[in-house]
Chain A
Amino acid sequence: MAVTVSIPTILRTHTGGEKSVAASGTTLAEVIDDLEANHGGLKARLVKEGTLHRFVNVYVNDEDVRFAGGLEAKVSDGDTVTILPAVAGGAELAPAMSSTSVEASARRAGG
């Protein structure tokens, strides 16, 4: 099954600058393994310990794979896979108090 994978700008160092590349597989996991075989280094940017990083949104065509089996999401010939950052934040924890490292901020918040 040949699919087209749309690659975020920052990951194009792995694809020789290509915006989108072809890959094959019947599930998202297989597509990512195939990507890794041809564009080494990509898999670690997307997957950790057998699941997608939580800051990565992956879509098969218009569908967010989180609701379609995650890495086991089915892909079909001609599908497009899109990778986007999961943008999030918010005031949930107390504001960091100064322009220091996140570790220092976290220590302060924890204290």
Chain B
Amino acid sequence: MQLRRDLVEAMVEHARRDHPDEACGILAGPEGSGRVERFIPMLNAARSPTYFEFDPTEWLKVHRELSANDEEVVVIYHSHTATPAYPSVTDVRKAGEFAQLLPSPHYVLVSTRDPDEHELRSYTIVDGVITSEPVDIIDPEVSTEV
């Protein structure tokens, strides 16, 4: 999937800032476009190094904003702070549950276990099956030329 460099940097920065707790959030785009245009960091209501959940109050506010702008969730991102950027059993189980209301987003994982080098990967998780997808980082200035 294509991700703008500034959005990638924003996710990594958020993950670093909340380390050692997990960070989570959304990349949103125009409904039906599959495109990502907006970075929305979310509070991790669990404030945990091994778990995240969207804060229900903030999520309602964000949902209303997305709905008013005809935008939708394209990517759900979160960090792993001591393990690789690969979906855990918890990730797969939870994705399978909330997919009943939020079908097939892309899942971006950022690992901050190494203080210097982050790992960032994207997946789909459909019916319990994890599929890795290449992340193509684009620079907006040159993206039309490529």
Contact = CB atoms under 8 A, between A and B. Distances in A.
Interface of A: 6, 8-11, 45, 53-57, 59, 62, 64, 66, 82-96, 99-103, 105-106, 109
B89 A105 contact: yes
Interface of B: 22, 24, 46, 48-54, 56-57, 59-60, 63, 67, 72, 76, 78, 80-84, 86-103, 127-132
Query: Which of the listed residues B52, B72, B91, B95 has the most CB atoms from chain A within 10 Å of its own CB?
Result: B91
Interface of B is mostly: mixed
Contacts of A90: 22, 46, 48, 50-52, 78, 80, 88, 90-91
Interface of A is mostly: mixed
A101 B94 contact: no
Contacts of A96: 86-89, 91-92, 130
Given A56-B101, A100-B129, A87 B90 contact: no
A102 B101 contact: no
Nearest to B59: A84
A64 B48 CA distance: 21
A95 B97 contact: no
A94 B93 CA distance: 12
Contacts of B87: 89, 95-96
A91 B82 CA distance: 8
25 contacts: A11-B101, A57-B59, A64-B57, A64-B60, A82-B63, A84-B60, A86-B56, A87-B94, A89-B52, A89-B87, A89-B91, A90-B46, A90-B50, A90-B88, A90-B91, A91-B88, A91-B91, A93-B88, A94-B83, A95-B89, A99-B130, A101-B129, A102-B92, A102-B96, A109-B89
A87 B91 CA distance: 10
Contacts of B52: 88-90
A90 B21 CA distance: 10
Nearest to A109: B89
Given A10-B101, A87-B53, A101-B129, A93 B90 contact: yes
A88 B54 contact: yes
B128 A89 contact: no
Nearest to A90: B51
Nearest to A46: B101
A9 B100 contact: no
Nearest to A61: B60
Contacts of A45: 100-101
